[in-house]
A and B are shown apart, each in its own frame.
Chain A
Amino acid sequence: QVQLQESGPGLVKPSQTLSLTCTVSGGSISRGGYYWSWIRQRPGKGLEWIGYINYSESTNYNPSLQSRISISVNTSESQFSLKLNSVTAADTAVYFCARDTPVRGGSTFDPWGQGTLVTVSS
């Protein structure tokens, strides 16, 4: 059973770069057909898809964040990573990683990591 686990600093200073890693276990990150997504949830708010990558480094980003984000993959370590630069307090959120799984009728986010809270503050 595939499991995902986020890791990274819980506190980032304004204007700096937020960096998170998601480690995939129980299955291959290199298996074709899957995309590996980052999703965030600001305090008391809904869910926002940030972007995704596949094993061959094909990416797609949310236009609302595109100018500030970069997602990369390290297949040898079974990890994918998020960098969000020039952060402000508005980037304070729980960040989730999830597998974007194709299904009959689109795709789904399943499974998810447990999430990690990142606070932007000086």
Chain B
Amino acid sequence: DIQMTQSPSSLSASVGDRVTITCRASQSISNYLNWYQQRPGKAPKLLMFAASNFQSGVPSRFSGRGSGTDFTLTIASLQPEDFATYYCQQSYSLPHTFGQGTKLEIK
């Protein structure tokens, strides 16, 4: 299985801050990397696919980069609705695997 490791596991930040979450794969996954946002008690929501492509309706303050084994999700200016948990997920090979999540909290 491909292991996905996110850092940090949690992050405290303020509205308006710029934050970056990192995801590392245990082997190269090309750009087969997705990002999801999960709010408490809700299902995950697709934010970005293929490392850097926006899902429809996702604000432009979100951006994704990377290929191979190292990927980042950046939120340019945090809004109150962005405080949630973020997961990366690889679709390069089965079984699909997720990172352990990064919980973004209000400072």
The chain A residue with its CB closest to the CB of B45 is A112
Given contacts A46-B99, A63-B95, contact A96 B46 (CB under 8 A): no
How many A-B contacts are there with CB distance less than 8 Å?
68
The answer to whether B92 touches A106, judged by C-beta atoms less than 8 angstroms apart, is yes
Question: For residue B44, which residues in chain A have a CB less than 8 angstroms away from its CB?
Answer: 47, 96, 109, 112
What mask results when residues 1 to 13 of chain B are scored 1 for a CB within 8 Å of chain A, else 0?
1000000000000
* Chain B interface mostly: loop
Size category of the binding interface on chain B: 20 to 34
A35 to chain B, nearest CB (A): 10
| CB atoms of B98 and A105 under 8 A apart | no
Residues in B lying within 8 Å of A, measured CB to CB: 1, 30-34, 36, 42-46, 49-51, 53, 55, 87, 89-92, 94-101
Residues of A at the B interface (CB closer than 8 Å) are 37, 46-49, 60, 62-64, 96, 98, 100, 103-110, 112-115
* 10 tightest A-B CB contacts, nearest first: A105-B50, A106-B91, A106-B32, A112-B43, A49-B96, A110-B46, A47-B98, A62-B95, A107-B91, A46-B100
A-B contact pairs, 12 of them (CB 8 A): A48-B98, A49-B96, A49-B97, A60-B95, A63-B1, A64-B95, A103-B53, A106-B32, A106-B90, A108-B49, A110-B55, A114-B43
